Structure 1
């Protein structure tokens, strides 16, 4: 069984949160370059600062969610996001105040406020992983993939609606998307307060010795074969996705549409990304549950990994725009299948009361991929060849396919061993 009412509320919260976040992503580089005279490298660091902070904070937030409950940490994440948006909106006057105070930072004070805003959002940015833990708590093991697919579908839909919202509002005022994102995040706080109650609390121990043993036990769970295999697969899939998204516009400009006006390149890339998001969202909302039910989760991951490998080979060899679109659709299918199932598996790779921490490490792994993917992809694109990104991705996804074959050998016994380990220590 799955709590339909609370899942619908969670879907709306994730959709609103991700729409607000994605509404400001396209605008931030423009703001820091134009208003704060940042260099392109400094503008790139503004985006990276969020993910670096999230790598450090996601496991910690997951641990807090396991200890204090999902709802309080979800609210903390949302309030942190609102605070970061307000810092972005008032970066210029706050920067002027810092300059007037004589504070020397080595960079423009307003730019320093922008960095602070992104770090704050990253440190408290556990919205999606905590929402995933909440969805896991209110669904049975056999419905967990469907629940996490709905969370992923809401996130994917937000990736589509957010940039569209930014495009509409930026024509009014460059900071209008920031105000809209703040309002949308405020709505998510109200939805959480009014419609989301804390899911059933797992048995907790308050004895200090038990807590000490729990730390040791969680380390053992984290280093278990099943968890490491899932995290390694997630890292490889995340690297491919991040490398693709970080260099695709350059690939379109240099390889697919050479000599075309910038407006044509930007428009084409925008449409392709929209198609990618739509296919991925439909896969998670419509296709995932019947597919996982028919094949089983582990075989579905294998199928998704095959799709991802096919897409890397196709993007490396494609010579026409329509072929690229076809392989992007195949990528969307593969990613939409693999990612939520990996999340579902990691929640069952240890005791249920550790699911928040495990999802936190999963999110940290993904954030690490989002940092490394564009850096490695951009370096390969710039120093080797434009298609080198996809040549390297073939090797990455071939290894991910091997790991997904290893996932076929994971049985409930692996999970039971982790759970028995905890019971033994307690």
Structure 2
């Protein structure tokens, strides 16, 4: 963490101005559409993987393709957004998402040709087929260009005063949760049509196309090239019709740190470690829960969609009503601590496989995640400072991606071996985060000096 005084010492470049006149609505809409495009396949992805020859391990592996390649792409896109501007990188990321859904759609029409089979005591029995291979590629490509979340967070930090960070990151979370409401509900409706999965993925293609149009038409640039001084015409090129400064001296400026330099920023490594653990717990849940819902609760695609819709609806209530009030009375660190305690309890309630406890767990999940995550992002943006937003957010996404790879694969394996007890590990991870979060109180005190 850098205090304002330290920031002035280490960076002589002027801080980018806060654009108070920039409306949040287009950015929130793009965030909503991005989440909707992702969540629309959540209820049926596990069914699709099984139909194409996979099992729980392959489902976890397929889910991990996005974060695995996001681990590569997010830091690059975050750094580019610091140099070339947020809008251009958002557009590049959205175009990648659009193309990935088109590839996903093609996979549904390919013949189910077996490439190889596996029969293992640890990995289980599965056949890796041609459609699964193309589906893997689609998710990998989306991950490689999937820096939209980190860039959107950096964009929001650019145009928001510190006193409004918690509230505006709460709005971003609400827009994401709205996407999680509409997506699974829409998937449940489309799953009962004649074309089922094809219609659902086609919907994701259309949604991604709308998101691309909104970025082009309605989102202004929040951060131009941050390097000072004149720029020769030889270092200006065109991307998607925009004249872009190459900022060829970026590596010479201390304001654009490398990975090693990011880790040297005060308190940033600790925050990235927490980011990793939070995502690890989440993604064990995201793999294990659909498998648990099918095996123990005997849910259909529609019932899965209803649960995710209820969960997201509760999240919106927490973030839209409760979070704004509590953020005025309590610090980010206090909300993060309380939220992580509630979130860990949610995972323990899932273990018995009881329908009532499962929906009760959704309430704890909404309360925990709804208070913790926007507050965590708010504190991270404050610690990163005005000049490091894109780079730090990009590396944070990479840490989240690494945790997602581990959690998604581990979640499938754990459920194969231990069934509902896999949620116990997710709960223990989040309880560990709860204990580590107490140190964040000191980080907040340092920000004031």
Q: Please report the TM-score for the alignment, with normalisation by the length of structure 1.
A: 0.82
Which residue is 1:327 aligned to? Answer: 361
Cα distance change, pair 295–161 in 1 and its aligned pair in 2 (3 A): same
| Superposition map of 1:378-397 within 5 A | 378-383=412-417, 385-397=418-430
Cα distance change, pair 296–56 in 1 and its aligned pair in 2 (3 A): same
Distance 1:270 1:78 in 2: 25
Structure 2, unpaired ranges of 5+: 1-17, 116-126, 229-246
1:128 to 149, 162, 165: 149
Which residue is 2:38 aligned to? Answer: 21
1:158 to 160, 172, 179: 179
The 3-state SS of whatever aligns with 1:241 is: helix
- Kept after mapping to 1: 8 A contact 2:63/2:408: no
Q: Any idea what the Cα deviations from partners look like across 1:6-38, whole Å, max 9, x if unmatched?
A: 21111111112221222234445555654xx44
Which residue is 2:209 aligned to? Answer: 186
Cα distance change, pair 270–165 in 1 and its aligned pair in 2 (3 A): closer
Task: Give me the CA root mean square deviation.
Answer: 3.2
2:28 pairs with 1:11: yes
| Superposition map of 1:129-278 within 5 A | 129-170=150-191, 171-173=193-195, 174-201=197-224, 203-205=226-228, 208=249, 211=252, 213-214=254-255, 219-252=260-293, 257=297, 262-263=298-299, 269-278=304-313
2:341 pairs with 1:306: yes
The 3-state SS of whatever aligns with 1:409 is: helix
- Kept after mapping to 2: 8 A contact 1:300/1:338: yes
Count of matched residue pairs: 398
Q: Any idea what the Cα deviations from partners look like across 1:377-419, whole Å, max 9, x if unmatched?
A: 3433333x43432332343223211211011111363697xxx
2:92 pairs with 1:66: no
CA offset at residue 266 of structure 1?
A: 5.8
* Structure with more of its chain in strand, by fraction: 2
Structure 1, unpaired ranges of 5+: 100-105, 417-426
Distance 2:353 2:64 in 1: 32
* Structure with more of its chain in helix, by fraction: 1
Which residue is 2:54 aligned to? Answer: 39
Distance 2:434 2:36 in 1: 32
Which residue is 1:339 aligned to? Answer: 373
The 3-state SS of whatever aligns with 2:189 is: helix
CA offset at residue 187 of structure 1?
A: 1.3
Distance 2:359 2:29 in 1: 30
Cα distance change, pair 228–326 in 1 and its aligned pair in 2 (3 A): same
Cα distance change, pair 196–270 in 1 and its aligned pair in 2 (3 A): closer
| Superposition map of 1:98-113 within 5 A | 110-113=131-134
Question: Which moved further from structure 2: 393-402 or 141-150?
Answer: 393-402
The 3-state SS of whatever aligns with 1:348 is: helix
Q: Please report the TM-score for the alignment, with normalisation by the length of structure 2.
A: 0.78
